[in-house]
Chains A and B, each alone.
Chain A
Amino acid sequence: MAGLELISDQGYRIDGRKPTELRQIRCRLGVFTQADGSSYVEQGNTKVLASIYGPHEPSSNMRSKISHDKCIINCEYSQASFSSAERKHRPRGDRKSLDMAAHIKQTFESCIHTTLYPRSQIDIFLQILQSDGSNYCACVNAATLAIVDAGIAMKDYVCACSASLAKGTTLVDINHVEESAGCAELSAAVMPKLNKIVYSELNGRLHEDEIGKVLDSVVLGCNDMFAVMERTVREHVEETVSNFTHS
């Protein structure tokens, strides 16, 4: 893209944000009545719906993987045909979706207290309604909120954020244009209170001197994300409790 500067001389990005600024985040819990837990997260123009079913008895095709001391986590990721600028013909089952589902499954296997739910299955379903970069991060955030809504025990919140490096400055929470500009992109999922990194992924090349800087900004972004998510959960609980007491 000739002439497209990721960061202008005044220090603003393409969409007018500062380099360490996250996009506008809107989240809601309890979107669906049928699922055990559900949530909707909007990070800028990326919109994700997550729903959790479980813990329940393993379905017939998972019976072979039953474990006596922990639960199996099954994750499915699908992107709506109209989610990206180019129409996507196959919503799920293609390479990228399966990859993404596997990464999210890995992330949550280390965060959910699987030993509390032996011989069961927890399903995580993610649906991308609109994709504008940082799909993995939005999915992880949505899944965390949905798991909280379902009442499944987790060691800590899991917040994810992405960052990139342009002209020596780290850009946090990158969108689709910045993703396709060809710079390195580092995504990480972090447990903020325990201060542990659960999952990290780097696309592209990054010099070893700079990787520390980028990782630090990702962790800072995750902490900001955590503040928003925790506030959402508290508000939701307050609302639910007030409905009980007033009825």
Chain B
Amino acid sequence: MSLFGNNLSDAEKCFIIHGIQDDFRTDGRSCDNYRTIELAVNVLTNTHGSSKVRLGNTELLVGVKVELGKPEKATPDEGRIEFHVDCSPNATPAAQRKAANKDFVNNIESMLVRTYANKIAIDLTSLCIIKGKMCWIVHVDVLILECGGNILDCTSLGVKSALQDTGIPRVVVKSGDEGEEEVELPDDPFDVQHISVNNVPILVTVSFVGTRHIIDATVEEESCCSASVVMGVTRRGRILGVRKQCGGSLNPETLVEMLEFGKKSGRQLHVALDKMLKSYEKGTTGYL
């Protein structure tokens, strides 16, 4: 994404490409290594669930708020999940125009919408309160604080952690006056139900640089890559959405290899993330 691309000289790009060919990237990683991931959940008090993720130099905050609303006419027994991505001015160097910023943000939003728009990722029927009249609308707000490459992977990690942390108030449906149903919120703020995140996808971006494919590209590596494929992978290895980015072309065999590689990496990421979330001791740590 040219929004953050440093203007690298041809010699620097050559250096990066040759290094990757020898399985040795500029920061010493091999082609299938992720940078260190730092994760914290429950960092914001005004939300129902939140998380902060740092992947190398990429940092973002995800806040989940649930609101009561009306379900769509076409799906009266389902709730809704909506994604909003915002790029903080802290992340963009001063010279960027607003239009380019909007494309960058739409790119992330549309990929999230694509991989969550199916019956597998989130069970939307669990968000329904009164069929046809009331449901939970889950607003997922992503705030990008710093972009150091691989923003899609980082976003999906943040979204999964925040959704796992989300506590939806347990409402009770009672029949009120005139036979209409009324909804009562609980008095106890800790009386919550959680959304099941077993099948939530993690986005994996596999970039093709020179002659090899890598995962978790930094900004410099992204500016050298000719083509990259983003895929949403569930824990079981199902692929919930694929999109190719960057204007280059791929051999069909290479594409297949990249998809298999992405699926393997995605599953490993799920395992690591779940282990981390399980052992995480909750407490409002704040941003520091």
Does chain A touch chain B in the assembled complex, meaning CB atoms less than 8 Å apart? yes
Q: Which of B50, B91, B287 contacts A40 (CB 8 A)?
A: B287
Tell whether A217 is near chain B: CB-to-CB under 8 Å: no
Count B-side interface residues using an 8 Å CB cutoff. Answer: 30
Q: Quick check: A38 and B90 within 8 Å, CB to CB? A: yes
CA distance A92 to B57 in the complex (A): 24
Interface residues on A, range: 35 or more
Taken residue by residue from 11 to 49, chain A's Cβ proximity to chain B (1 for < 8 Å, 0 otherwise) reads as: 000000000000000101000111100101010010101
Task: Mark contacts of B132-143 with chain A using CB atoms, 8 A cut-off: 1 yes-contact digit, 0 otherwise.
Answer: 000000010101
- A129 near B94 with CB under 8 A, answer no
Instruction: Give the residues in chain B near A83, CB-CB below 8 Å.
Output: 46
Which B residues touch A126, using CB under 8 A? Answer: 89
- Verify A130–B94 contact, CB threshold 8 A: no
**Contacts of A49 on B, CB cut-off 8 Å?**
88, 90, 145, 287
- A81 with B139: CB separation less than 8 A: yes
Kindly list chain A residues whose C-beta atoms are within 8 Å of the C-beta of B91.
34
Closest residue of chain A to B50 (Cβ to Cβ) is: A82
What is the CA–CA distance of A128 and B287 in the complex, to the nearest angstrom? 12
CB-CB contacts of A64-84 with B at 8 A, as 1s and 0s?
000000000010101011111
A91 vs B93: C-alpha distance when bound (angstroms)? 18
Max chain B CB contacts within 10 Å: which of A28, A61, A82, A83? A82
Closest to B88 in A: A127
Q: List 30 A-B contacts (CB under 8 A).
A: A32-B146, A34-B91, A35-B90, A38-B90, A42-B288, A47-B286, A49-B88, A51-B89, A51-B90, A56-B94, A60-B97, A61-B97, A74-B94, A81-B86, A82-B46, A82-B50, A82-B64, A83-B46, A85-B46, A87-B139, A87-B141, A123-B89, A123-B94, A125-B88, A127-B89, A127-B90, A127-B143, A129-B44, A129-B287, A130-B44
Q: Which residues of B contact A (CB under 8 A)?
A: 44-47, 50, 57, 61, 63-65, 67, 84, 86, 88-91, 93-95, 97, 139, 141, 143, 145-146, 148, 286-288
15 extra interchain contacts, Cβ-Cβ under 8 A, other than A34-B93, A45-B45, A80-B63? Answer: A33-B146, A34-B148, A42-B287, A76-B89, A78-B86, A80-B86, A81-B63, A81-B65, A81-B86, A81-B143, A82-B47, A87-B139, A87-B141, A127-B143, A129-B287
